[in-house]
């Protein structure tokens, strides 16, 4: 399953000759990735998520203890006021009489209570849009580098007290899809079981065909019948036979497929995280696809033959697509022009260099190279039989 991972840009804001009271003043010990424009995150919490809060005064009844939140950024102390709270998720009530302090030098937030209830679980919440760093950037609770707003960017962590256990804690992340079968592969099965696996237990009343659709590339919809289900997976069978030569797209309506999470889990965390970057107000639907066909896409191998390169395809190719635009060679100085000779019943291309070369070679075959059946090249290291996908350009070595 192809996943797109988002990378947070690291930005250094340089200023000079500013008065100390200016909030844009740069401290010499400021860590990389902090400052104006950077969305602050939580570096860690003690106790860590779903771990026990240890009583630091066992001689006194109840649990006296402090939760410590570590930031990599300097935070706006005023923004913490009224935006840090704790819910007792065992009872569903907010915890009162918290002593909340912030040490700007240590970049640590302290949340202390003199009488945490034993045998209970808790959820710590730092409200996004409220909690900010000293440059005014809101906290990025889900860590995706985007300002998703409240509650989607609330920074969350759980803990429990003596007598309880980790599984009493609520979830702090939404469910995701961990596997689909078939997914981005070619299958010759015209009635393939379509299996979707989740990373957590789901509300099985939402794992129904109304929330899962299968559509061919021609736009025709195929009805799905549920044939099996477990707490974290569901299997459907197409009601009608699939057609060879068509791609089929499976779509899951993210807003309707929900987790069977512990009681008092924030409701916005129940819906499916379709794009694997945390919750957001406009969560896209999840989509995967596969090709139904008996004909596989061609693959290619390259050999250095001294005065040129030899390209061997595993099946007969369409010679119209075996051109210099689609087959190229490079050495350490750049592009190497050449001439192509097609042989072996259109399964081999010999590439003869038109200039002296230097060093090692790199070869390129475009995914636009097609077999005699019109199947585009499958250039992946581990071919999936589809061909022509965005990542199917072939590079050697």
Architecture of domain 300-396: Sandwich (2.60)
Out of 53-62, 84-93, 336-345, pick the least confident: 53-62
For the chain, give the percent of residues with pLDDT over 90.
89
Task: Tell whether the model's pLDDT for residue 15 goes beyond 80.
Answer: no
Q: Hey, is 320 helix, strand or coil?
A: helix
Domain 44-168 has CATH 2.60.40.1660: no
Name the strand (E) or helix (H) holding 289. strand 286-292
Question: Which pLDDT score, from 0 to 100, does residue 23 have?
Answer: 32
Q: Write out pLDDT tens, residues 149-169.
A: 999 999 999 999 999 999 999
Count CA within 13 A, CB hemisphere, residue 134: 20
Closest by CA to 161, choosing from 92, 89, 97, is 89
Whether 79 has a pLDDT exceeding 90, the answer reads yes
What span, in angstroms and rounded, lies between the C-alpha atoms of 334 and 332? Answer: 6
Structure tokens, 323: 């051109």
Least confident of 56-60, 71-75, 121-125, 318-322: 56-60
Residue ranges in the chain assigned as alpha helix (H): 77-80
Tens digits of residue pLDDT in 231-269: 999 999 999 999 999 999 999 999 999 999 999 999 999
At residue 148, the pLDDT reads 93
The single-letter DSSP state of residue 1 is -
Residue of higher predicted confidence among 75 and 4: 75
- What was the pLDDT predicted at 62? 86
Tens digit of pLDDT for each residue in 274-301?
999 999 999 999 999 999 999 999 999 9
CB 271 within 8 A of CB 255: yes
**Can you give the pTM of this predicted structure?**
0.83
pLDDT of residue 38: 85
CATH number assigned to the domain with residue range 177-292, chosen from the 4 options 3.30.450.40, 2.60.40.1220, 3.30.465.10, 3.40.50.300? 2.60.40.1220
| Residue 2, pLDDT score | 42
Cα gap 195→185, rounded to integer Å: 14
Helices and strands per DSSP (H, E), number in the chain? 1, 26
Q: In the chain, what are the domain boundaries?
A: 44-168, 177-292, 300-396
- Nearest CA to 254 among 224, 217, 279? 279
Q: What is the average pLDDT score of the chain? A: 91
Where helices occur in 89-142 by DSSP H, the ranges are: none
Encode burial over 212-237: b for 16+ CB neighbours within 10 A, e otherwise.
bbbbbeeeeebebeeeeeeebebbbe
> Over pLDDT 70: what percentage of the chain?
91
Q: Give one word for 390, left, alpha or beta, with left for phi > 0 and alpha for psi -120 to 50.
A: alpha
Say which residue the tokens 């099996």 belong to: 228
List of residues 6+ apart from 219 with CB closer than 8 A: none
Q: Do domains 44-168 and 177-292 have the same CATH topology?
A: yes
How far is it, in rounded angstroms, from Cα 265 to Cα 123? 9
Is the N-terminal amide bond of 182 cis, ω within 30° of 0? yes
Judged against a pLDDT cut of 50, whether residue 346 lies above it is answered with: yes
CA–CA dist 372, 239 (Å, integer): 33
Q: Find the angle CA(34)-CA(39)-CA(45) to the nearest 5 degrees.
A: 85
Report which of residues 33 and 158 the model is more confident about.
158
């Amino acid at each position: 399953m192809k996943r797109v991972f988002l990378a947070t840009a690291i930005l250094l804001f340089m200023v000079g000759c500013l008065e100390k009271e200016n909030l844009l003043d740069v401290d010499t010990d400021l860590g990389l990735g902090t400052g104006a424009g950077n969305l602050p995150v939580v570096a860690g919490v003690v106790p860590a998520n779903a771990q026990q809060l240890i009583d630091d005064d066992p001689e006194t009844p109840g649990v006296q203890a402090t939760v410590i939140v570590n930031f990599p950024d300097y935070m706006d102390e005023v923004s913490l006021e009224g935006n840090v709270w704790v819910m007792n998720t065992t009872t569903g009530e907010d915890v009162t009489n918290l002593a909340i302090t912030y040490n700007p030098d240590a970049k640590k937030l302290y949340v202390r209570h003199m009488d945490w209830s034993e045998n209970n679980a808790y959820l710590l919440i730092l409200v996004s849009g409220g909690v900010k760093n000293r440059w005014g950037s809101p906290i990025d609770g889900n860590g995706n580098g985007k300002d998703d707003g409240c509650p989607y960017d609330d920074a969350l962590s759980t803990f429990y007290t003596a007598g309880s256990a980790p599984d009493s804690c609520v979830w702090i992340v939404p469910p995701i899809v961990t596997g689909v079968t078939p997914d981005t592969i070619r299958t010759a099965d015209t009635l393939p079981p379509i299996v979707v696996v989740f990373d957590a237990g789901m509300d099985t009343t939402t794992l129904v065909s109304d929330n899962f659709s299968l559509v061919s590339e021609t736009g025709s919809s195929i009805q799905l019948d549920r044939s099996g289900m477990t707490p974290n997976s569901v299997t459907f069978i197409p009601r009608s036979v699939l057609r060879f030569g068509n791609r089929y797209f499976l779509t899951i309506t993210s807003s309707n497929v929900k987790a069977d999470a512990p009681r008092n889990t924030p409701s916005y965390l129940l819906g499916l995280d379709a794009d694997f970057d945390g919750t957001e107000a406009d969560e896209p639907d999840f989509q995967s696809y596969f090709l139904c066909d008996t004909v596989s896409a061609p693959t290619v191998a390259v050999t250095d033959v001294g005065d040129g390169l030899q390209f061997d395809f595993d099946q007969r190719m369409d010679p119209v697509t075996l051109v210099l635009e689609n087959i190229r060679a490079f050495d350490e100085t750049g592009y190497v022009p050449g001439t192509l000779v097609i042989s072996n019943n259109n399964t081999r291309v010999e590439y003869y260099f038109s200039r002296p070369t230097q060093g090692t070679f790199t070869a390129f075959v475009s995914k636009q190279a097609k077999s005699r059946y019109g199947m585009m090249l499958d250039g992946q290291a581990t071919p999936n039989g589809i061909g022509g996908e965005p990542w199917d350009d072939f590079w050697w070595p």
